[in-house]
Amino acid sequence: MRDILEEIVANKREEIAQFHQLLPITTLATLTEKMLHITVPSMRRALMESTTGIIAEFKRRSPSRGWIHRDARVSEVVPAYEQSGASAVSILTDRSYFGGYDEHIQQARFMGVSLPILYKNFVVDEYQLFQARYCGASAVLLIASVLTIDECRRLMSLAHQLGLEVLLEMHAESELDYAALEPDMYGINNRHLGTFTTDVDTSFHLAERLPHDACKVSESGISSPDVIARLRESGYRGFLIGETFMREPSPGDALARMVGQLNNLSNNNH
């Protein structure tokens, strides 16, 4: 079976090389500098203070499923996520494989969305951090399996200089060395990015291997309030959910239902 992750990363490097030619990084850095006075909300704080911790994702397609919700519009879905009780929003900005654009984040901000927004892409180059900050993101995803520890450290340092928080994603025991970099948020992806098989047990298995007081985020394959409640007991504070909502005609309503069920669960447990 082909390793889709290698293909995506190779494609991403070509794409970024083109971006460098179209708009040099020095120009992009200057444009971004003008945005730095606009403060963006902290995703880490939002998750640590939230009772639900749901990071609702805007994701129109995926390499494994194809189109999930082709005509979904940021201008409708993301404000609905905010009204329905999301703690933060994740927006896919990869065009080739996920049908996303940087402009989707700009659009959400233009619509008045004030939640923290995660710039979700395959970040392999400093250029993308300037893109993330320029379009109004609060945080950026760094994926351990596509970066060396040194690359990760360097990108994390620049992200912080730009006022971005970092969600560092690991998905196997072999990547836990990256946790020593002390990112703002520690993500465990339950989906293997090479094969796209999903197993929420990955989060349970790796939970106690992460620093006790860290902001831990479980990503992918989460579709029920019960699983969220169990993950929360294991120390997770963020729950990244995309396809469960995006498969529905109204993703915002699907989120509202889940938040209601979660609240009922916690009321019954008290």
| Amino acid sitting at position 218 | S
CA distance 254 to 247: 9
Residue showing tokens 């993500």: 187
> Which letter does DSSP use for residue 57 in this model?
E
Is 151 a residue of the active site? no
Choosing from 62, 84, 145, 189, the catalytic residue is 189
Choosing from 57, 126, 165, 175, the catalytic residue is 57
> Which letter does DSSP use for residue 176 in this model?
G
Report residue 207 as tokens.
């939970």
Residue showing tokens 């994701």: 59
Is 219 a residue of the active site? yes
Choosing from 120, 121, 145, 175, the catalytic residue is 120
Report the candidate in 38, 54, 67 with the shortest Cα–Cα distance to residue 258.
Answer: 54
Is 120 a residue of the active site? yes
CA distance 232 to 217: 10
Dmax over Cα atoms in the chain, in whole Å? 58
CA distance 98 to 103: 14
Choosing from 82, 126, 175, 219, the catalytic residue is 219
Is 208 a residue of the active site? no
Choosing from 126, 165, 169, 243, the catalytic residue is 169
CA distance 188 to 207: 8
Question: 60 phi and psi, to 5 degrees?
Answer: -85, -30
Is 216 a residue of the active site? no
Question: 122 phi and psi, to 5 degrees?
Answer: -100, 90
SS3 166: strand
Question: 251 phi and psi, to 5 degrees?
Answer: -60, -35
Residues with Cβ within 8 Å of residue 26, at least 6 apart in sequence: none
> Is there a contact between 190 and 141 (Cβ–Cβ < 8 Å)?
no
Q: Which residues are catalytic?
A: 57, 59, 120, 169, 189, 219-220
